[in-house]
């Protein structure tokens, strides 16, 4: 089976063409605290603790063919993350959604990467007030730009070269809860440099006992003894991961969310990763050893990839972008 060239489709198919827009939003739109601006003019004060201490939660939702994917679930996950780290979102769900719609609408994007955050914000200046979460001026920022693929069509079609990090473990959930999507990326970023040093393209991080958690910015899956398995802890509950579990159900492929030991990848028939900014990303080698017998992207990984895009473009979990909102969200 051939992998659908989703990125090429976004660049060439008329259903994906950018709609008429103000040229200053050609690269995308940002929303900074209380106003919209062109993406390239967006900035953050250096004393925002989100910037200084990675003290923030965020989420990313995608748009394709003019439809958000699983928007309400992304918003619900974001609300849980805000609660988990004790920041207050200045906007309710409806206003937040209106901002996200307008970001996309102003740039006329039919395929978009839409990112938003609430940071700890500006710290209190009073004596001993740092102990009080309500004394910080939490800040909301967001932007939308053209859809981003972590790996392009050719890379997804041939499969990614992955390593299991030897130098890093994923930060344990008791230290930073990975279910609250957060700015803590240094473990994952350092594992990526290790991948580069070892001649690979991406990395997955184990926990301190050798069980897999997640890849850098993505969930990890393996097909072991005919079952699609993915870690049940130490990772973000990805919405692309959720989508894959649903697609497997539809295809009659058994799934299990359970602890997955790093050694299991050696005998896996297929391995793939999932993330919003990249969809389903087949893996062709782990630690330099080919995965399964296929020597490239696995058949089921490709089938899931293709079904994911076909269903999305047909409206699966889709919310049409309110393009008429351009200029009116607030």
Ligand X SMILES: Cc1ncc(COP(=O)(O)O)c(C=O)c1O
CB of 249 to ligand X, least distance (A): 17
Question: Where do we find the tokens 């601006």?
Answer: 37
Residues 59-118 that bind ligand X (CB under 6 A): 60
Q: Which helix (H) or strand (E) holds 117?
A: strand 112-122
Contact status, residue 107 vs residue 33, Cβ threshold 8 Å? no
CB of 188 to ligand X, least distance (A): 6
The site string for ligand X over 225-264 (x = CB under 6 A, - otherwise) reads ----------xx-xxxx-----------------------
- If one asks whether residue 203 binds ligand X (CB under 6 A), the answer comes out as no
- If one asks whether residue 224 binds ligand X (CB under 6 A), the answer comes out as no
CB of 232 to ligand X, least distance (A): 14
Contact status, residue 85 vs residue 79, Cβ threshold 8 Å? no
CB of 191 to ligand X, least distance (A): 11
Of 4-12, 217-225, 246-254, 281-289: span binding ligand X (CB under 6 A): 217-225
Q: How many CB atoms lie within 10 A of CB 30?
A: 23
CB of 73 to ligand X, least distance (A): 9
Nearer residue to ligand X within complex by CB, 28 or 217: 217
* Residue of 95, 94, 115, 88 whose CA lies nearest to 30: 115
How many angstroms separate the CA atoms of 84 and 59, rounded? 14
Cβ neighbors of 129 (< 8 A, separation 6 or more) are 135
- If one asks whether residue 206 binds ligand X (CB under 6 A), the answer comes out as no
Nearer residue to ligand X within complex by CB, 167 or 237: 237
Cβ neighbors of 47 (< 8 A, separation 6 or more) are 122, 123
Of 250-258, 274-282, 289-297, 302-310: span binding ligand X (CB under 6 A): 274-282
Question: Where do we find the tokens 């344990």?
Answer: 172
Q: How many CB atoms lie within 10 A of CB 314?
A: 10
Contact status, residue 259 vs residue 211, Cβ threshold 8 Å? yes
Count of chain residues binding ligand X (CB under 6 A): 15
Tell me, rounded to whole angstroms, the distance of Cα 56 from its chain centroid.
16
Nearer residue to ligand X within complex by CB, 222 or 329: 222
CB of 114 to ligand X, least distance (A): 12
Buried b (16+ CB within 10 A) or exposed e, 147-176: bebbbebebbbebbbbbbbeebbbbeeeee
Contact status, residue 259 vs residue 207, Cβ threshold 8 Å? no
> Closest-CB residue for ligand X?
238
Nearer residue to ligand X within complex by CB, 101 or 181: 181
CB of 70 to ligand X, least distance (A): 8
> Which residue from 89, 274, 285, 301 is in contact with ligand X, where contact means CB under 6 A?
274
Q: In the complex, which residues of this chain contact ligand X (CB under 6 A)?
A: 60, 181, 214, 217-219, 235-236, 238-241, 274-276
């Amino acid at each position: 089976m051939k992998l659908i060239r989703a990125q090429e489709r976004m660049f060439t198919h008329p259903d994906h063409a950018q709609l008429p827009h103000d040229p200053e939003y050609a690269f995308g739109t940002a929303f900074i605290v209380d106003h919209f601006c062109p993406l390239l003019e967006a900035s953050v004060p250096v004393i925002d603790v989100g910037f200084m201490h990675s003290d923030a939660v965020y989420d990313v939702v995608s748009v394709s063919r003019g439809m958000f994917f699983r928007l309400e679930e992304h918003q619900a996950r974001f609300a849980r993350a805000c609660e988990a780290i004790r920041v207050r979102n200045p906007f309710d769900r409806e206003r937040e959604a209106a901002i996200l719609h307008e970001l996309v609408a102003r740039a006329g994007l039919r395929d978009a990467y839409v990112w938003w955050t609430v940071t700890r914000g500006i710290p209190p200046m009073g004596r001993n007030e740092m102990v009080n979460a309500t004394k910080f001026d939490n800040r909301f920022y967001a932007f939308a730009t053209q859809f981003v693929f972590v790996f392009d069509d050719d890379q997804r079609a041939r499969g990614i070269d992955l390593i299991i990090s030897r130098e890093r473990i994923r930060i344990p959930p008791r230290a930073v809860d990975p279910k609250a999507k957060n700015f803590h990326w240094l473990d994952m970023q350092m594992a990526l440099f290790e991948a580069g040093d070892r001649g690979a393209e991406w990395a997955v991080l184990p926990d301190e006992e050798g069980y897999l958690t997640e890849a850098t910015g993505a969930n990890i899956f393996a097909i072991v003894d005919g079952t699609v398995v993915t870690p049940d802890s130490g990772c973000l509950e990805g919405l692309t991961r959720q989508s894959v579990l649903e697609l497997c159900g539809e295809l009659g492929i058994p799934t299990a969310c359970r602890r997955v030991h790093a050694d299991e990848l050696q005998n896996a028939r297929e391995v793939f990763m999932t993330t919003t900014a990249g969809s389903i990303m087949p893996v062709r080698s782990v630690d330099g050893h080919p995965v399964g017998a296929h020597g490239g992207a696995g058949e089921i990984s490709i089938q899931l990839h293709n079904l994911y895009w076909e269903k999305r473009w047909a409206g699966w979990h889709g919310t049409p972008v309110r393009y008429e909102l351009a200029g009116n969200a607030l």
